[in-house]
Amino acid sequence: MRLKMVLTMIMGLTFSFSAMAVSSPDEMLPDHHQEKRAELIGSKLRCLVCQNESIEESNAELAKDLRKIVRQHVAAGESDHQIMEWMVARYGNFIRLKPPFNKLTLLLWGMPFLALIFSGMFIWNLIIRRPSPQTPLDEKEKHRIAELIKDE
Amino acid sequence: MKSITRRRLLWSVPFATAAVAGGGFWAMLSGLKSGKFDPHEINTPLLNRPIPEFHLDVQPPGMVFNPIILRQINKPILLNFFASWCIPCLLEMENLQKLSSQIDIWGIAYKDKPENAENFLQRNGNPYRYLGNDLKGSVGIEWGISGVPESFLIMPGGMIRWHYPNPLGEAAIHQIHSLLRKS
């Protein structure tokens, strides 16, 4: 019984996070499929006023205007790529919450792979390439030990 | 012996990484402090590009303009987005008045009712040679502005030479003067 309650609470939390669009009903497109697409595009665009929120999450006036524009373009039948390009032409790559892959962002995108390679090398060295087990004593060493013990 | 040097080399990797990252962070923080680096800055892609297309409504008491008129200028002008509801715009007015004797300033009232913008100009002085109204903010989006005031320096032929997304202060006016000298 208690488990069920906890589960419900977790579910509630998850859903409250996923329900991010602040679009009031009058902002939304009548076509459910188009509205979903507009929300997805909007969630990839940075609100330039609050900067770490997407235009779907932000309540700033500019975000509201940009949401409207995204919906107009979606309704006009433009592709996601075309809408993104329209935004980038006006606000630069900064408006993309996900930076594009180019010369400038090479290190940014490559960092996880670099980290994986370096940590892999480190672990390989630590675990796989352990120093080889001790070789048994040769005749000379055995002789020397025997002598040392004899002296005791 | 060989494996020991290898081991040392491998151990130095995390330290080297930390050192490089530390250096990077130091550069970033010192840039933030001196104002050379601003992560919030919106670098407009319009710089050194022709002006965008836009349509303005009439804004009394000035004459309205359009991209065709703007492209026909034969000396640099300053385009300034303002609004009567914007306090930094009010603070900027004094500097704009002073600047208007040296360069023509064209104004766009952003998301402002024409009568409110007109009252604002009557009360605080009108430094603008041409005026337009952008009630819906769509012209602002064409120009990639994120708020008011923002200013653009436009060269003959309609090339955007400079963008400033803040109220014009001493430093900005200095930048305008040096750009005007170069042109």
Cα separation, B46 vs A12, in Å, equals: 44
pLDDT band at B138 (very low <50, low <70, confident <90, very high): very high
Which of A79, A97, A78, A96 has its CA nearest to residue A87?
A96
Question: Does position B78 have pLDDT exceeding 70, yes or no?
Answer: yes
Which pLDDT score is estimated for B114? 95
Interchain contact B123–A (C-beta under 8 A):
no
pLDDT of A18 reads 47
Interface residue of B85, B146, B152, B160 to substitute, partner A, most A CBs within 10 Å: B146
Together in a domain, A85 and A112: no
pLDDT at A6: 64
Mean per-residue pLDDT for A108-128?
Answer: 89
> A88 and A112 share a domain?
no
The answer to whether residues A5 and A26 belong to one domain is yes
Same domain, A123 and A151: yes
Task: Indicate whether A4 pLDDT > 80.
Answer: no
CATH, residue A50: 1.10.8.640
The C-alpha of A39 sits at a distance from chain B's nearest C-alpha, in angstroms, of 19
Give the residue-averaged pLDDT of B129-136.
Answer: 95
Are A94 and A132 found together in one domain? no
Residue B137 to residue A51, Cβ atoms within 8 A: no
The reply to whether A73 and A133 lie within a common domain is: no
Whether B134 contacts B56, CB under 8 Å: yes
DSSP states along chain A: -HHHHHHHHHHHHHHHHH------GGGS-SSHHHHHHHHHHHTTBB-TTTSSSBTTT--SHHHHHHHHHHHHHHHTT--HHHHHHHHHHHH-GGGBSS---SGGGHHHHHHHHHHHHHHHHHHIIIIITPPPPPPPP-HHHHHHHHHHHHH-
Percent of chain A whose predicted confidence (pLDDT) is above 90: 39
**Which pLDDT score is estimated for A19?**
46
Show the beta-strand stretches assigned E in B20-69: none
Q: Is the pLDDT of residue B94 over 80?
A: yes
The total of structural domains in chain A comes to: 2
Q: Within an 8 Å CB–CB cutoff, is residue A66 touching chain B?
A: yes
Indicate whether A14 and A43 sit together in one domain: yes
Mean pLDDT across the stretch B77-93?
95
Residue A13 pLDDT: 56
Mean pLDDT for A95-104 is 88
Q: Does residue A60 sit at the B interface (CB-CB below 8 Å)?
A: no
* Structural domain span for residue A45: 1-100
Residue A1 C-alpha, separation from nearest chain B C-alpha, in angstroms:
49
Q: Does B88 contact A at CB distance below 8 Å?
A: no
Nearest to B150 by CA among B139, B138, B137, B163: B163
- Asked whether residue A26 falls in the same domain as residue A78, the answer is yes
Pairing of strands B77-82, B128-134: unpaired
Q: Are residues A23 and A85 in the same domain?
A: yes
A87 and A151 part of one domain: no
Q: What is the pLDDT at residue A124?
A: 87
Chains A–B, number of C-beta pairs less than 8 Å apart: 47
Cα B85 from Cα B110, distance rounded (Å): 10
Q: What end-to-end distance do the CA atoms of chain A give, in Å?
A: 74
**pLDDT of the residue at B5:** 80
Domain boundary among A62, A81, A100: A100
CB contact B42 to A (< 8 Å): yes
pLDDT of residue A15: 52
Q: Which two tokens stand for residue B11?
A: 């151990």
Of A100, A120, A139, which residue sits at a domain end? A100
pLDDT at A49 (0 to 100): 86
> Could you tell me how far CA A78 lies from the centroid of its own chain?
27
pLDDT band at A126 (very low <50, low <70, confident <90, very high): confident
Instruction: Give the torsion through C-alpha atoms of B118, B165, B49, B84, to 10 deg.
Output: -10
pLDDT at B49 over 80: yes
Percent of chain B with pLDDT over 70: 98
CATH topology of domain B67-182: Glutaredoxin (3.40.30)
- Chain B residues with CB under 8 Å of A125 CB are 6-7, 10
Element (H, E) at B134: strand B128-134
User: Given an 8 Å threshold on Cβ–Cβ distance, is A61 in contact with B52?
Assistant: no
| Statement to judge: residues A27 and A95 lie in one domain | yes
| Residue A50 contacts B where some CB pair is shorter than 8 Å | no
Say whether residue A92 is in contact with chain B using an 8 A CB cutoff: yes
B134 strand-pairing partners:
B110
**Pair (A46, A112) in one structural domain:** no
